Amino acid sequence: GLDIGSLHSIREIPGFLAFTAVFFVAVFREQRLAVFFLALIGLGTALTGFFPTYIGIAITMSIMSVGFHYYETYAQSLQLQWFPKDQAPVLLGWVVTVYSLATIVAIGGSWLLFQFFSFDYWLVFLVGGGVCVAAAVVGWGFGNLPDTGAKQRTGIVLRGRYWLYYALTFFAGARRQIFVVFAPFLLVDRFGLNIKDMLLLILLNEVLNMVLAPLVGRFIKRFGEGRTLIIEYIGLVPIFVFYGIVTTPWVALLLFILDHLFFKLAFAMKTYLQKIADPEDMASTAAVAFTINHIAAVVVPLIFGFIWLISPSWVFFAGAGLAAGSLILSWLIPRWPETGNETRLRLLRRAGAAG
């Protein structure tokens, strides 16, 4: 548990430094930057199988992590610049579907290579990383697409009226580690799932995501970001509690699937930001948000790794507390968020002033 926690803390350190992504925008186009860091993800993946030690994995994971966090920063910024506000939830739902389809191809291909061709781990990592680099090379040809968004500010932007988004992002970074790090480790450590079992489980989750993500996008468009996030966290609190007490393998598997599905509701936070933020702030705010997210993400796996050594159950009970905190914050999102109407507290203050 401690090694797992420390490795994932190392993995999240580049995310903590993601605020620096905005400085590159002053020199390079965001499209080019996104493709470059996508190639870096592939390079780190391809090298992983050649260094199967703690130090080796830490180094290759760091390479992948730099690529992933900077790529995701630029990708989110571009999505929020390009997608119209009234259609962004639906379009982001389809983006999640495409991501899930790519994951299905990658996970399904890995499982086939392990199951039927008895590939060694290093070769699977090499093939997967090579495909990622090839995709980046193809994407480089599309790097001169015209900019359709507002010219982005190239400095760090922190605005007081974005405070609720920052707070939700911080809690999401802490909560995410339960899903990414400790829930899979629970399945492996306590219930004996092997890598093939985990690949099939993740494959099932992504199939469900591919089908449901567009529906989630339409739900966000119709009912709003606040209600969507409230549903997510109402679901996550009992899931985390049951993680802490589960003793039956099939129940643990069901919890993991439900956890994964609720996790996908979180892209409502992106459209909330799009509605309240200045168009020129998208790149900077995306970069700052990744750093805020990873303040928690760097610390939580390490601390929870120590807690795991004492009692794995308490890791998940703490996760339930984090989900409850996010639930309280989600109640503060107004039904129609926009510039000047970022939180319900503003409405209450206005009502008090009017009275």
Mind listing the pLDDT tens digit for each residue in 27-51?
888 888 999 999 999 999 999 888 8
Element (H, E) at 39: helix 30-48
Which pLDDT does position 351 carry in this prediction?
47
CA 261/CA 234 separation, integer angstroms: 13
Quickly state the pLDDT bin for 354 (edges 50, 70, 90).
Answer: very low
Quickly state the pLDDT bin for 143 (edges 50, 70, 90).
Answer: low
Q: Which of 260, 228, 216 is nearest to 333 (CA)?
A: 228
Mean pLDDT of 260-270: 88
Which pLDDT does position 110 carry in this prediction?
77
Sequence spans of domains, the chain = 2-144+160-354
CA 274/CA 278 separation, integer angstroms: 8
Contact present, 214 and 93 (Cβ < 8 Å): yes
Mean pLDDT of the chain: 86
**Backbone phi, psi, residue 86, to 5°:** -75, -15
Q: Which CATH class is domain 2-144+160-354?
A: mainly alpha
Q: In this predicted model, which residue has the larger pLDDT, 52 or 148?
A: 52
Mean pLDDT of 203-214: 90
Sign of the alpha-carbon torsion through 6, 253, 93, 98: positive
HSE-CB at 11 with a 13 A cutoff on CA atoms is 23
